[in-house]
Amino acid sequence: MKIMMFAHGGSLNRGCEAIVRSTTNLIKDGIGDSKVYLASHKPETDKVIGRLDGIFDGSPSTITKYSKDWFVAVLQNKLFRNESYALGKIEEKTIRRIKEMDVVMSIGGDNYCYGEQPHWYEIDKKVKQQGKKLVLWGCSIGEEDMSPQKLEDLKRFDLIVARESLTYNMLKERGLRKVKLAADPAFTMEQEQLPLPAGWAEGNTIGLNFSPLVWKLNEQSRISVMQLIEHILETTDMTIALTPHVIYEGNNDYEVLKQYYEQFKASGRVLLLPDNLTAIQYKGYIARMRFFIGARTHATIAAYSNFVPTMVLGYSVKSKGIAKDIFGEEKLVIHLEHLSDFNKLKAGFSELIRDEALIKRQLMQAIPGVKQLSHQAVHYLRELG
């Protein structure tokens, strides 16, 4: 089986790297003679992923103004209100690879959470026109994200694998029948343990991840997180390890966390992990933390999968659904609108401390089953034939 993953922006988002890396391992270990390829917007960032059989440049192409393609695209749009030709040209690097594949897999987890995705819809159409199997892999989609166009696109898929039950139930309620429930593949990802940095308190370090995305969606959250850092320093003897997980220009956790580091470094109990680690190296550090507080989903998955009690600074259905499937409730997920309220963060942190042993026990009971659900996704893929 030849499988190509697409809709991947590159591995400077270590969550995207985690999805590709763990999916590749699951498929190659679970489906004999499989070949796994990746179409990436930034293929040079994906060389850290070892087992891929090929990495293609899937970055969007540009249509030159006044070229033949430009005139055809303009004419089609004006006469028929149809962007299909233009979108096909923009995504031609990915589309031309379809003919070589048996299965084409849309990844990214929450790509369908951010408005319409006409570029992906066009690729999906081309996959089906060429008679190939089309899979949406490990997705989260909120009720608020759905639209008639999105539903129409989702009907094209031969298999939709939802990574949490909130998405699964919503898609089933919308009449989609080819939906299966699994867990995010990154629960199964390996880790690499680098030497601990100076200042790390073994057994007593709390990780903190924060993102420009959350900052942008709730500007006051920056202040309440700063107050939380102050509170941790004042009321505990823990060291805080500021942990970036997405390091794209314009969406760089490191830049936000560096501001906190500069503000609190004089305490001697705040350290900043570097911005050049891979997903498995960040996971190696997170695994040795006592607690974790994080906005990036795959940073929190790294914590959950190592039984680290975690508070999630949530901003979409994925955070709520993943926590619900682990704990049976949306445990310690602070919703976006509450992130500006320091008292909510303080209460969540107090719960984290108070229930440390209970949460750890719940994670140790739940995570083996969650990992089994990650493997189950490959079974569904194998059934496509």
| DSSP assigned state of 9 | -
The DSSP bridge partners found for residue 133 are 103
Q: Is residue 197 domain-resident?
A: no
291 with 248: CB under 8 angstroms? no
Average pLDDT of each block of 10 consecutive residues along the chain (385 residues)?
Answer: 97 96 98 96 96 96 85 75 82 97 93 89 97 97 94 97 97 97 98 97 98 90 97 98 94 96 98 98 98 97 98 86 96 93 97 98 98 97 88
Looking at 142, 165, 181, the residue that finishes a domain is 181
Amino acid identity, position 291: F
> Can you say whether the dihedral through the CA atoms of 254, 238, 336, 21 is positive or negative?
positive
Q: Residue 276 belongs to a domain with what CATH number?
A: 3.40.50.2000
pLDDT for residue 62: 86
292 phi and psi, to 5 degrees?
A: -145, 140
Tokens of 96: 């031309």
pLDDT for residue 69: 78
Q: Is residue 385 domain-resident?
A: no
The DSSP bridge partners found for residue 208 are 242, 293
Q: 249 and 301, same structural domain?
A: yes
Can you list the positions of beta strands (E) in the chain?
A: 2-8, 35-40, 54-57, 103-106, 133-139, 159-162, 179-181, 205-208, 239-242, 247-248, 251-252, 270-272, 291-294, 310-313, 333-334
137 with 23: CB under 8 angstroms? yes
The DSSP bridge partners found for residue 334 are 313
C-alpha–C-alpha distance, residues 284 and 17, integer Å: 15
C-alpha–C-alpha distance, residues 43 and 54, integer Å: 10
Q: 170 and 241, same structural domain?
A: no
Q: Is residue 192 domain-resident?
A: no
pLDDT for residue 85: 75
Q: Is residue 380 domain-resident?
A: no
pLDDT for residue 374: 97
Closest CA to 182 of 300, 26, 361, 5: 26
Q: 213 and 127, same structural domain?
A: no
Range of the domain at 316: 205-368
The position carrying tokens 């739940």 is 366
The DSSP bridge partners found for residue 310 are 292
pLDDT for residue 215: 87
> Can you say whether the dihedral through the CA atoms of 344, 345, 351, 354 is positive or negative?
negative
- Total tally of structural domains belonging to the chain: 2
* Residue 133 CA to its chain's centroid (Å): 23
Q: 293 and 209, same structural domain?
A: yes
b vs e for 235-255, b when ≥16 Cβ sit within 10 Å of the residue's Cβ? eeebbbbbbbbbbeeebbbbe
Q: 273 and 127, same structural domain?
A: no
Q: 135 and 218, same structural domain?
A: no
Q: 80 and 32, same structural domain?
A: yes
What lies within 8 Å, CB to CB, of 102 at 6+ separation is 1, 2, 3, 132, 133
Q: 25 and 163, same structural domain?
A: yes
Q: Is residue 191 domain-resident?
A: no
Q: Is residue 137 domain-resident?
A: yes
Q: 209 and 127, same structural domain?
A: no
Q: 267 and 177, same structural domain?
A: no
C-alpha–C-alpha distance, residues 346 and 34, integer Å: 48
Residue 81: other Cβ atoms inside 10 A: 7
Can you list the positions of beta strands (E) in 58-186?
A: 103-106, 133-139, 159-162, 179-181
Q: 220 and 174, same structural domain?
A: no
Q: 154 and 68, same structural domain?
A: yes
pLDDT for residue 44: 97
Q: Is residue 374 domain-resident?
A: no
Q: Is residue 32 domain-resident?
A: yes
